[in-house]
Amino acid sequence: MFRGTTLIGVVVLLSVAARAPAQQNLPVTDEAYKKLQADFAEAYNRKDAATMAAFFSENGIRVTPNGIFHGREAIQRDMQKAIDLGIHDYSVQRTVSRAEGNLLFNAGEWKAKIGDQQFRGYYSALVTGEHGQLKIVEETVNVAAPAR
């Protein structure tokens, strides 16, 4: 009986110990997120779809008016289509942010141009830490209706 209880205790301790480094590996802070947003916008404006997609987790999901894209490869293809439209001067302004466990929830407004025409919309994103870096787990983006 003592042997079985000891084995159960060791398994519980190992599972807790295995989770501890993962939690320490989550740099989900406001400053880290500001850097992620700035670096993402910089990649967008340099027309670097591969770098933009790398900000997403391997199984990240991006929901846009054009569809739902699952995984970095699909996200990169969708980002490249946006770049091919000639989108430039991309910027983002976060208006809501809160931590939920190991996730950071953010929402705000984005702006960009195609030629001289200004477009804007709203986004929400769930961000977590993955291998010591922030990664977008899920992002939803829309395009706002033109002002009347």
Domain range summary for the chain, segments of one domain joined by +: 26-141
**% of the chain at pLDDT higher than 70:** 81
Q: Taken in order 47, 97, 26, 18, is the CA torsion positive or negative?
A: negative
- What's the confidence (pLDDT) of residue 64? 95
Instruction: Give the pLDDT band (50/70/90) at residue 33.
Output: confident
pLDDT tens across 36-92, in order? 889 989 999 999 999 999 999 999 999 999 999 999 999 999 999 989 999 999 999
Q: What is the 3-state secondary structure (H, E, C) of 109-128?
A: EEEEEECCEEEEEEEEEEEE
pTM equals 0.76
CATH tag for 26-141 (out of 3.90.1300.10, 3.40.50.150, 2.60.40.10, 3.10.450.50): 3.10.450.50
